[in-house]
Amino acid sequence: MSKVNFILDPDVQEEMVRLIPPRKRSRVVNEALRKEFLRRRRELATQRLKEIRQKTGTLRGREIVESIRKDRARRG
């Protein structure tokens, strides 16, 4: 574990002091950061999937079925 210094906006600090007991603040900040990291990873993954979809195009129902049949036939 390491100690990190950062600056909070005054309103955020006031709310933190009012709502979170002193010995719980690090845990709350860690959890908030974990949630934000997860949100950003999902956002990046979604963006990547959109980029892939633009490159590959969209298949219709029949095209999907035909593609699966070809793949199964190729595998033997």
Structural domain containing residue 23: 10-75
Position 4 in a domain? no
Distance CA 15, CA 25 (A): 11
Structure confidence at residue 5 (pLDDT) = 95
Number of domains comprising the chain: 1
**Cβ atoms of 59 and 67 closer than 8 Å:** yes
Position 29 in a domain? yes
What is the DSSP secondary structure assignment for residue 22, as one 8-state letter? G
Residue 75: pLDDT band (50, 70, 90) is: confident
Distance CA 31, CA 58 (A): 38
**Percentage of residues in the chain having pLDDT higher than 70:** 100
**Residue 16 or residue 1, greater confidence:** 16
Position 3 in a domain? no
Position 63 in a domain? yes
Position 45 in a domain? yes
Position 5 in a domain? no
Place of tokens 């029949």: 62
Q: What is the pTM of this model?
A: 0.68
